[in-house]
Amino acid sequence: MANIVPASEYRQLLLAKRPLIDVRAPIEFHKGAFPQAVNLPLMNDAERTKVGTCYKQQGQQAAIELGHSLVGGKIKQHRIDAWCQHIQQYPNSYLYCFRGGLRSQLTQQWLKDAGVDLPYIQGGYKAMRTFLINTIDYAAENSPILVISGSTGSGKTEFIHQRNDAIDLEGIANHRGSSFGRQISAQPSQINFENNLAIALLTHQKYHQTSNAKLIVEDESFLIGRAAIPHHFFQSMQQAPVVIVEQSFDERVQRLHQEYVQKMRLQFCQQFGEQDGLNAFADYLQQSITNIRKRLGGKQHDELQKLVQQALQQTHLDGHYGWIRQLLAEYYDPMYQYQLEKKANKIVFKGSHQAVHQWLDEH
């Protein structure tokens, strides 16, 4: 009898971060996978395309025969060796294909012939993906969501990181939400953003031993960079009570200087070397201003670009305080006040970081 991991174990294997071997083709893997998975395909993209075409034109048996002819001999042995090498390092691995069908069964059989008995996941990627989407929808309906809001630079993400009843949407999206929010590393695909969000929700449920525990999230737009918050979950966020963390203008300027200037400049230089890093950092700042040109208006955009350019020509970083102050005072703060007025009836508490922590702990 085949060694199969049933659907009832999806939650546990995802929470345990069990190593997974994804035997789908690379093109499938890059669209979406699970965070603990490595792509060791049974067929590469070209082979999969040929087999797929054959299946449509001549049926399953012809496609199977073609697959065996394409992945045979040294190619077959090379793939078995790659699986065995990974399993030697991670002996508690499971494998999966798209639907838990032929590719999983064939991989399992080849491994068994090589002396390795490895379970494959019932329903494959498709079924586990459906489980994760259902997890997000369930949380949207059943978790009492509470939104942390506050002016730009007020340390909302930092606040979120200090709570064990919160999840970090920006961390999952690998983007800080604002026009300056991109990170040096790429954002996940939309599918991977959703998969990782669902796993964060499962972890939250496990930690609190209940599926309807209070869930704290940061106030976000529908899009975090290019990652879209699932519609049902975003709707629940929009209807949730709002708590506001407050910090002074100068504290917020200092935080943005640290986040968008000091940290990003250092990271670009570490990634690309000193000169290329400085050039990439300059492009990052100027492009971030350009991204909001329409909302700034031409005159304000040009003024800010000039201030950024002047700051970049200085050897020290203090020159950047000028454009940060102007951007906060003339763009971000007015926009925040406008948005705050629209959600005034949802605000349940305002205060410093310490006061908000205390209020949340008491409620």
Written as tens digits, the pLDDT of the chain (363 aa) is 569 999 999 999 999 999 999 999 999 999 999 999 999 999 999 998 998 888 889 988 888 888 888 888 899 999 999 999 999 999 999 999 999 988 999 999 999 999 999 999 999 999 999 999 999 999 999 989 999 999 999 999 999 999 999 999 999 999 998 889 999 999 999 999 999 999 999 999 887 776 667 899 999 999 999 999 999 999 999 999 999 999 999 999 999 999 999 999 999 999 999 999 999 999 999 999 999 999 888 899 999 999 999 999 998 999 999 999 999 999 999 999 988 888 899 999 999 999 999 999 988
Question: Which residues are CB-contacts of 278 (< 8 A; sequence separation ≥ 6)?
Answer: 265, 268, 269
Cβ-Cβ contacts under 8 Å for 318 (sequence gap 6 or more): none
Domain that holds residue 344: 143-362
78 and 151 co-located in one domain? no
- For 108, half-sphere exposure in the C-beta direction (CA atoms, 13 angstrom radius) is 22
The CATH number covering residue 32 comes to: 3.40.250.10
Query: CA torsion sign, 181 to 183 to 184 to 188?
Result: negative
Report yes or no on 347 lying in a domain. Answer: yes
Report pLDDT for 228.
97
Cα 182 to Cα 222, 225, 227, distances in angstroms: 16, 7, 11
In a domain, 134, yes or no: no
Spatial contact of 63 and 36, defined as CB atoms under 8 Å apart: no
- Let me know whether 38 and 163 are in one domain: no
The answer to whether residue 176 sits within a structural domain is: yes
Task: State residue 212's pLDDT score.
Answer: 64
Pair (194, 305) in one structural domain? yes
pLDDT at 211: 60
> Do residue 157 and residue 306 come from a single domain?
yes
pLDDT value of residue 66:
85
Residues in Cβ contact with 254 at an 8 Å cutoff, skipping those fewer than 6 apart: none
Residue 271 and residue 204 share a domain: yes
Which of the listed residues 129, 159, 193 is the one where a domain comes to its end? Answer: 129
The answer on 297 and 348 residing in a single domain is yes
Q: How many domains does the structure of the chain reveal?
A: 2
Residues 111 and 259 in one domain: no
* 137 part of a folded domain: no
The answer to whether the beta carbons of residues 233 and 184 sit under 8 Å apart is no
Same domain, 333 and 195: yes
Q: Is the same domain home to 229 and 110? A: no
Is residue 119 included in any domain, yes or no? yes
Cβ burial, residue 314 (10 Å; 0-12/13-18/19+): exposed
Q: Between β-strands 223-224 and 227-228, what pairing exists: parallel, antiparallel or unpaired?
A: antiparallel
Residue 136: inside a domain: no
Tell me the catalytic residues.
97
Instruction: Please identify, among 79, 103, 129, the residue that sits at the C-terminal boundary of a domain.
Output: 129
Instruction: Count other Cβ atoms within 10 Å, centred on residue 46.
Output: 11
At 289, which amino acid appears? I
> Which tokens in the block code for residue 117?
């008995």
Q: Is residue 338 part of a domain?
A: yes
Alpha-carbon gap, residue 166 to 34, rounded angstroms: 22
Q: Does one domain contain both 186 and 320?
A: yes
Q: Do 321 and 187 sit in the same domain of this protein?
A: yes
Q: In 3D, which of 162, 149, 157, 153 has the Cα closest to residue 180?
A: 153
Question: Does residue 135 belong to any structural domain of this protein?
Answer: no
At 309 the three-state DSSP class reads helix
Shared-domain flag, residues 179 and 254: yes
